[in-house]
Amino acid sequence: MNGEHGRERPSSGKAVSWNDLPAELVACIVSELDPASRTSFASTSTHSFWDIMLAKGAHYKVTSSAQLPCLAGSISTYPRSHSYFTGTIKVDTEEITMDTADACTLADVFASTTTSDLVTTCFRSSVLRPYINSIVLQDSHFDGLIRIPSDMVRLRKIDGCRCESRPAANWLPKSLRTNVEELVGFRLLHRVPPDMSNLQRINVSGCTNLVSDWLPKSSREKVVEIDVSNSSARRIPPDLMFLRDLNVSGCTDLPHTWLPMSRRGRIETLNISGTGLKRIPPDLLRLRTLDMTGCPLLYDWLPQSSKGSLANLITGSTRRHPHLAQGMVLQYIDGRALDRAAREKLRRYGADSPFDLFEAARQS
């Protein structure tokens, strides 16, 4: 296309007229265009889906009461003669992100597929699968056991939290493991696959079938975030050199050695709510945010080596609990900012409870 928008249409793929699209979807697209483009497209009905997608200012999110697809994304041009789609497609609870997919091919899929199974169609399409960057998986995507196709070469994020099916023994092909940066586990997941050397974020919340060595050493190297809340995990593996955010909330069977000494000094955010823990582990040198809602903490719950950076404390609004030690540098308690007087009292004298700290500051 060498017209108003200064881009050429790819040579492959047939034109998809917006007349082929549901009227409600077209109305949503047009309503999100800038005024000039809206006027231009209102004057004729012969524009193709391609023209609409490439319209100046067409960065949009479309939705409708009829549960038609929500499409959020952008079209960019690499060489002049080829254009690509990069963005997220949502259909009801399904979600998929495409990375530089051929826009004409994608437009053909939009026009020829019923809205209720659009994401499933993309997942099952050998043409589109290589462009999928992120996907929220559903049981309907599979004909039995969960298996990720080996041609999903750009896959960076796998979200399986909505899957009730059982993953196959080698559900993630070895050829794809080094690509994945974020994994949200299936409910029946036993173990994170090995050799995921670029994995950074792990969420196995609610996975109650995890084995003792649920995170192989070959998949730990770059991990910065772990969420094992309400899962069967009993220990956080060692050798997590870059672990920064850790959530073990709801894990009520944590042993004394649940957090290994190695590299715990990098943790900045820790959620232990609902675990029943009575003390915070020592040597959390960079700990800044701590959620300890519902924990029956002892008087000496916070080791000296873990209090130096703690700025944000979440207690669950238990007014008489816990004791706050002298020298703490807290700035927020349960979302409430400490004023200068409260911070100074805490630094110099400590407080028997957050309530006493706020009360003293109010009376000063």
Would the pLDDT of 289 be above 90?
yes
* Higher pLDDT, residue 197 or 52: 197
Q: What is the DSSP string of 239-250?
A: --TT--EEE-TT
Q: What is the pLDDT of residue 354?
A: 84
Neighbours of 222 (CB within 10 A): 15
Amino acid at residue number 173: P
- Dump pLDDT digits (tens) for 312-330: 999 986 556 788 988 999 9
Task: Answer for the pair 154, 99: CB distance below 8 angstroms, yes or no.
Answer: yes
Q: What is the pLDDT of residue 331?
A: 94
Tokens encoding 8: 């050429």
Task: Answer for the pair 289, 264: CB distance below 8 angstroms, yes or no.
Answer: no
3-state secondary structure 157-208: EEECCCCCCCECCCCCCHHHHCCCCEEECCCCCCCCCCCCCCCCEEECCCCC
Amino acid at residue number 76: S
| Percent share of the chain, pLDDT over 90 | 45
Exposed/middle/buried for 35, CB within 10 Å: 0-12, 13-18, 19+? exposed
Sign of CA dihedral 328, 329, 334, 337: positive
Q: Distance between CA atoms of 337 and 319, rounded to whole angstroms?
A: 15
Q: CB-side exposure of 161: number of CA atoms within 13 Å?
A: 16
Tokens encoding 188: 């029946």
Q: Distance between CA atoms of 107 and 85, rounded to whole angstroms?
A: 9
Q: Distance between CA atoms of 179 and 156, rounded to whole angstroms?
A: 6
Neighbours of 171 (CB within 10 A): 18
Would the pLDDT of 159 be above 70?
yes
**In 3D, which of 260, 167, 280, 156 has the Cα closest to residue 217?**
260
Task: Answer for the pair 121, 109: CB distance below 8 angstroms, yes or no.
Answer: yes
Q: What is the pLDDT of residue 172?
A: 97
Task: Answer for the pair 75, 103: CB distance below 8 angstroms, yes or no.
Answer: yes
pTM metric for this prediction:
0.77
Mean pLDDT in the chain? 77
- Dump pLDDT digits (tens) for 49-69: 445 444 433 333 333 323 233
Would the pLDDT of 286 be above 90?
yes
Q: Distance between CA atoms of 362 and 359, rounded to whole angstroms?
A: 5
Q: Distance between CA atoms of 183 and 158, rounded to whole angstroms?
A: 5
